[in-house]
């Protein structure tokens, strides 16, 4: 059985990736064709011609005035996926229609609904407002991961791995050494993991971008909305500098690290990452540095998880793991994902 939840919104692309040309990406095992209409709307439909399955994203298929013409025999489809012309005959079969997908463009992402289109509620798309806010500057990218998406969820929910896998970049001894608090709200669909380091070494990622020297307060607050959207609210300040009683926090640096975890197939994942900051907004040097550093860090995870996928795929199911305190949030996320796949399942053991 698939472990990928359906009837869910997934990030398919950044808005900037989709223009007035054909763009294809596989999301949850479905090959989807995207393009932007003349009116600027993103449209999404199956990337397989209903005639003989030729990929509509593949040359010589082409886009002509908001219609896609199949490169094999010329079946022509409108932006809603309906076939409007076939070669040699005037009658277009009534069933000639590409499966179309609800989409929402929000917070710089293009979201696509995988599942029953009747259940798609645009209001249910989880938000990451910093990514498109004028008060933040964002760098972002996407790395292909040859591992199942659950491995990336495990990875991101337990940041103690920063100390080991990302030492010298974002990892310092305090990350692994500091206890966490985990909260779960099933109804809201959120797993929250909080790690507040009140006296920690400042890793290069933050030292070079903020200019802080010496020890820092480093708060990591993870908010994961299964299955796709992961947000790390990162607060960096000199030791002892706290938010003000009114809730404002002008003396700290805030970095919102956002991941969209989108299954490509059962065994591969689109690893979207974005880093939004509320300081040095116009400093291109800081943007370049954070983009390069974060990409490096993501690629360290990708390398590790690619290896892990190969190992796990080669083992029979039901292998033994051992969970300790650092896994409290990861186990909560796994359980929530399992419920999304199989809502009727009894509260699963979380081991």
Burial 44-59 (b: 16+ CB within 10 A, else e): bbbbbbbbeebbbbee
Q: Which is nearer to another protein, 25 or 161 (CB)?
A: 161
Q: Which is nearer to ligand FES, 54 or 289 (CB)?
A: 54
Q: Which is nearer to ligand FES, 85 or 165 (CB)?
A: 85
72, interface contact from Fe ion, ligand FES, another protein, none, CB < 5-8 Å by kind: ligand FES
Minimum distance, C-beta of residue 119 to ligand FES, in the bound complex (Å): 30
73, interface contact from ligand FES, another protein, Fe ion, none, CB < 5-8 Å by kind: ligand FES
Residues near Fe ion, by CB under 5 A: 301
Which residues make beta-bridge pairs with 232? 222, 257
Q: Which is nearer to another protein, 225 or 294 (CB)?
A: 225
Which residues make beta-bridge pairs with 327? none
| Residue (of 102, 101, 96) closest to 77 by Cα position | 96
Reduced to 3 states, what is the DSSP secondary structure of residue 118?
helix
Cβ atoms of residues 131 and 138 within 8 Å: yes
What are the structure tokens assigned to 133, written together? 């806010």
Strand-strand pairing, 67-69 and 23-27: unpaired
Under rule CB under 6 A, how many of the chain's residues touch ligand FES? 9
Does 73 help bind ligand FES (rule: CB under 6 A)? Answer: yes
Whole-angstrom CA distances from 306 to 139, 269, 272, 329 are 24, 10, 16, 22
Q: Which is nearer to another protein, 52 or 244 (CB)?
A: 244
Does 272 help bind ligand FES (rule: CB under 6 A)? Answer: no
Q: Which residue is nearest to Fe ion (CB)?
A: 301
Segment holding 208, helix H or strand E: helix 204-210
Does 289 help bind ligand FES (rule: CB under 6 A)? Answer: no
Q: Using CB under 6 A as the criterion, what x/- string covers residues 23-52 for binding ligand FES?
A: --------------------------x-xx
Q: Which is nearer to ligand FES, 4 or 63 (CB)?
A: 63
Residues near another protein, by CB under 8 A: 179-188, 190, 192, 194-196, 198, 219, 221, 323-325, 327-328, 331-332, 335, 347, 349-351
Q: Which is nearer to ligand FES, 52 or 119 (CB)?
A: 52
Whole-angstrom CA distances from 194 to 52, 189, 273 are 52, 17, 20
Minimum distance, C-beta of residue 165 to ligand FES, in the bound complex (Å): 46
Q: Give the separation between CA 130 and CA 270, rounded to whole angstroms.
A: 21
135, interface contact from ligand FES, another protein, Fe ion, none, CB < 5-8 Å by kind: none
Cβ atoms of residues 239 and 215 within 8 Å: yes
Mark the segment that binds ligand FES (CB under 6 A) among 29-37, 67-75, 115-123, 239-247.
67-75
Cβ atoms of residues 107 and 113 within 8 Å: no
Minimum distance, C-beta of residue 105 to another protein, in the bound complex (Å): 28
Does 54 help bind ligand FES (rule: CB under 6 A)? Answer: yes
Does 77 help bind ligand FES (rule: CB under 6 A)? Answer: no
Whole-angstrom CA distances from 314 to 20, 311, 319 are 42, 5, 11
Q: Which is nearer to ligand FES, 69 or 241 (CB)?
A: 69
Q: Give the separation between CA 208 and CA 23, rounded to whole angstroms.
A: 37
| Residue (of 207, 169, 176) closest to 295 by Cα position | 169
Which residues of this protein are in contact with ligand FES, per CB under 6 A? 49, 51-52, 54, 70, 72-75
């Amino acid at each position: 059985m698939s472990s990928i939840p359906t009837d869910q919104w997934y990030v398919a692309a950044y808005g900037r990736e989709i223009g007035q040309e054909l763009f294809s990406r596989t999301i949850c095992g479905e090959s989807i064709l995207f393009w932007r209409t003349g009116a600027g709307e993103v449209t999404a439909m199956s990337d397989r011609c209903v005639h003989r399955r030729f990929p509509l994203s593949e040359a010589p298929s082409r886009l002509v005035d908001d219609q896609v013409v199949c490169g094999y025999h010329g079946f022509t489809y409108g932006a809603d996926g309906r076939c409007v012309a076939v070669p040699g005959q005037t009658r277009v079969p009534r069933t000639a229609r590409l499966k179309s997908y609800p989409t929402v463009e929000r917070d710089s992402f293009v979201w696509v609904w995988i599942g029953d289109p009747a259940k798609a509620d645009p209001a249910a798309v989880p938000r990451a407002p910093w990514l498109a806010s004028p008060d933040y500057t964002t760098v972002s990218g996407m790395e292909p991961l040859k591992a199942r998406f659950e491995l990336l969820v495990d990875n991101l929910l337990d940041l103690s791995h920063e100390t080991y896998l990302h030492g010298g970049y974002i990892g310092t001894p305090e990350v692994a050494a500091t206890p966490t608090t985990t909260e779960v709200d099933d109804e809201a669909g959120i797993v929250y993991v909080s790690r507040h380091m009140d006296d920690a070494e400042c890793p290069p990622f933050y030292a070079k971008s903020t200019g802080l020297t010496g020890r820092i307060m480093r708060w990591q607050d993870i908010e994961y909305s299964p299955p796709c959207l992961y947000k790390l609210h990162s607060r960096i300040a000199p030791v002892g500098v706290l938010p003000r009683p009114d809730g404002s926090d002008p003396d700290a640096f805030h970095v919102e690290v956002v991941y969209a975890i989108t299954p490509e197939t059962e065994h591969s994942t689109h690893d979207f990452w974005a880093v939004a900051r509320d300081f040095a907004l116009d400093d291109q040097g800081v943007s370049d540095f954070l983009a390069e550093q974060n990409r490096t860090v993501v690629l360290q995870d990708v390398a590790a998880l690619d290896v892990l996928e190969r190992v796990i795929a080669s083992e029979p199911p039901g292998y033994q793991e051992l969970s300790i305190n650092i896994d409290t949030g990861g186990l909560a996320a796994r359980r929530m994902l399992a419920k999304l796949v199989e809502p009727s399942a009894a509260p699963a053991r979380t081991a």
